[in-house]
Chain A
Amino acid sequence: MSGGTYLGMPAFPEAASESTQNKQLRANLTHATHTIRDKRAKAVAELADWPQLRAAGAAIKNRTLRHLDHYLEQVEAAVEAAGGHVHWAADADEANRIVIDLVRMTGETEVVKVKSMATQEIGLNEALGEAGIRAYETDLAELIVQLGDDLPSHILVPAIHRNRSEIRDIFAKEMGNWGRPAPDGLTDRPAELADAARLHLREKFLRAKVGVSGANFMVAETGTLVVVESEGNGRMCLTLPETLISVVGIEKVVPTWQDLEVFLQLLPRSSTAERMNPYTSMWTGTTDEDGPQTFHLVLIDNGRTDTLADTVGRQALRCIRCSACLNVCPVYERAGGHAYGSPYPGPIGAILTPQLRGTQSKLDASLPYASSLCGACYEVCPVAIDIPEVLVHLRERVVQGGEVTLRGSRTTIKPAKGHAAERAAMRAARWALDHPAALRGGQRLAARTRRLHPKRLPGPGKAWTETREVPAVPAESFRDWWQRTRGKETK
């Protein structure tokens, strides 16, 4: 019951075709993405200065990234001055080892967890499990995923691939194995299901001695950590245990307290489409007689500095994990979150995962192709990450190889030409473009993508472009261009 794992996932196109055939998943996803998308547009429209906020959000993150060493040293000093302990982890294994040791020091064998992408990324629950420590997920969706021995499929609504009757069945069958069983006669009404979760988890919160969290932001000048949530499980994990361990990616730092005025407007509206999410917790080190008396901050690199070394790709580190890009992505809507083979699905996953992990595996090489380059993700991104630009850049890297930074060292990677990775990538591209919804998106923003066309076409058109530059761009859509060029090549 350690939950699923991303290891050994098939490359994007295979996984995507599989999920495309799953009608329930498709229906849930379409409903979810369209509902959130519309609500979000309204929440954003309420603020006349959204474009200015978005630009400021991007600028603050750029400032942070360009001086990341400075801000990390600053946040470290501030957290320690406030009574916290700061640890550094170069990769997932080191981060897991640190957390395991910290839990062992408390003598406890279970921890309560609030949803965190960083801990999913490093596979913390599995590592804790192997060390004999049980990690209880407490976010409703994560609970559904964990009890169902499953993987999350969406950043914001990780169990979006499950409908209410599936959730009822999982609760009725599994809750008893993990603690307080579901009430008899549990129906599939959402309110009743939420109530069952409240009762099941209350037990765990009240007795938990160790909490594990991530953080949405860390403020360098004050050492304050910020967790934004809806259900209250975050507050439970952050305040009831005696020891709190927060595992946070190094890119989550923001320079000043004032900077929060930008992100606390951008994030809730862009994510859950709310003026403000129900609960936000902020804490600075420890406070006497209030909340955990021991606080550990584990700062993780795990590929982030490699990403930072790429001057085009580094903008992916601005991401505040709002998930807006997933909800507008025609490819995500078809393929579902699992096809992306990491905790980061959708457009952000397509640019972040291959940078954090490198593009050596078939799956990771195929991710930059899991897109029709329609540009909708860029338009909604609250920190203006030009996802299509990074996708094209990564495609070039896959096909042409070149200088990259891998685990801190400059390395020259070989072109994927003729390799399994290239074939996976080509199939991903074909898959993305063969789907009508993807194509519609592609057409809609054809003009914008024009400047993004790679000089040399990766994938099937490559041989064709070997002899000529990609036309300086015809006023045809990416779709038409692709179909035409691919048509030539595959005949």
Chain B
Amino acid sequence: MSTREQVLGRIRRALADVPHGETPDDVPVNRDYLRMHGERSAEETAELLAENLADYRAIVHRTTTAELPGRIAALLAGRGAGRIVVPAGLPPEWLAAAEGVELVTDTAALTHRELDAVDSVVTGCAVAIAETGTIVLDASPDQGRRRITLVPDHHICVVRVPAQVVDSVAEGLERLDPARPLTWISGPSATSDIELDRVEGVHGPRTLEVVLIHE
């Protein structure tokens, strides 16, 4: 007998008390919890997103579509970023104003070490969740492979407001496709492993800047 059969057999014997014919749906799950917490206008939801992102030490900027290229250029210049990795499908106009930077396009051929020598990464996102201050990346063409938002030390993530903003975790999950690789990001990485002192920035990008563009 294979281990698989053995384990499944043990489970079936262990569940001898479960009436024959009971289906999973016969076990009630009451979903009377809230779908979202509180009532908000779209503007208030964006405000809450900004607040919660900032509360977990992301740096939040708000701008318009027209002013976005200038804003991104200024953020990169402010850090003295010279090499920028960008996903293949990033709208080219986002970086139109960035001068004197070398753009490295995300490809499968890019090695981990090459990526480690990059200063910043600029991406879009799939959805942003206001109640938890979370942005979610799903590796779409404007976000790229998971590793490009992990290895560089500085991540600029652009969120379209209100189109990409939802209130709650439940609404966020509904918009996401589980078949895609997903990364949920709520502030830069952190640890409290040393005497519970919170230290921001361990392995991921130590600086996370979220740019909310109001369309």
Give me the interface of A with B, judged by CB distance under 8 Å.
Answer: 28, 31-32, 35-36, 46-49, 52-53, 55-56, 59-60, 62-63, 66-73, 82, 88-90, 94, 138-141, 144, 157-160, 163-164, 167, 190-191, 193-194, 197-198, 201-202, 205-207, 219, 222, 224, 230-233, 235-236, 239-240, 250, 255, 257-258, 260-262, 264-265, 268, 272, 274-284, 287, 289-291, 299, 301, 305-306, 308-309, 311, 314, 405, 408
State which residues 1-33 of B face A: CB under 8 Å. Answer: 2-4, 6-15, 17-18, 22-24, 27-33
| CB < 8 Å neighbour of A52 from B22, B32, B134 | B32
Can you list 16 residue pairs at the A/B interface with Cβ under 8 Å?
A47-B34, A49-B34, A56-B32, A59-B30, A66-B15, A69-B11, A70-B24, A163-B195, A235-B150, A239-B150, A240-B147, A261-B170, A278-B186, A278-B188, A283-B182, A408-B6
- Chain B residues in 8 Å Cβ range of A255: 24
Say whether B33 contacts A236, CB under 8 Å: no
Q: Is B181 an interface residue (CB 8 A)?
A: yes
Query: A193–B202 Cα gap in the complex (Å)?
Result: 10
Say whether A262 contacts B33, CB under 8 Å: yes
- Chain A residues in 8 Å Cβ range of B108: 289
Say whether B56 contacts A274, CB under 8 Å: yes
Q: Top 5 A-B pairs ranked by shortest CB distance?
A: A232-B203, A232-B204, A309-B14, A305-B10, A232-B189
Query: A49–B3 Cα gap in the complex (Å)?
Result: 42
- Chain A residues in 8 Å Cβ range of B27: 59, 62-63, 66-67
Say whether B2 contacts A284, CB under 8 Å: no
Could you count the A-B residue pairs with CB atoms below 8 Å apart for me: how many are there?
257
CB distance from A423 to the nearest CB of B (A): 31
Query: A53–B117 Cα gap in the complex (Å)?
Result: 44
- Nearest chain A residue, comparing its CB with the CB of B52: A275
Say whether A236 contacts B203, CB under 8 Å: yes
Say whether B181 contacts A287, CB under 8 Å: yes
Q: How large is the interface on B (under 10, 10 to 19, 20 to 34, 35 or more residues)?
A: 35 or more
Q: Is B197 an interface residue (CB 8 A)?
A: yes
Task: List 16 additional A-B contacts (Cβ < 8 Å) besides A48-B37, A67-B18, A205-B112.
Answer: A53-B33, A63-B27, A88-B2, A159-B193, A159-B194, A230-B189, A230-B191, A240-B112, A257-B178, A258-B173, A278-B185, A278-B190, A279-B204, A280-B182, A308-B14, A405-B10
State which residues 23-50 of B face A: CB under 8 Å. Answer: 23-24, 27-34, 37
Give me the interface of B with A, judged by CB distance under 8 Å.
Answer: 2-4, 6-15, 17-18, 22-24, 27-34, 37, 52, 56, 108, 112-113, 116, 129, 131-134, 139, 145-147, 150-151, 168-170, 173, 178-197, 199, 201-204
- Chain A residues in 8 Å Cβ range of B146: 235, 239, 281, 290-291
Query: A144–B146 Cα gap in the complex (Å)?
Result: 27
Query: A88–B11 Cα gap in the complex (Å)?
Result: 13
CB distance from A369 to the nearest CB of B (A): 26
CB distance from B4 to the nearest CB of A (A): 4
Say whether A301 contacts B2, CB under 8 Å: no
Say whether A55 contacts B52, CB under 8 Å: no
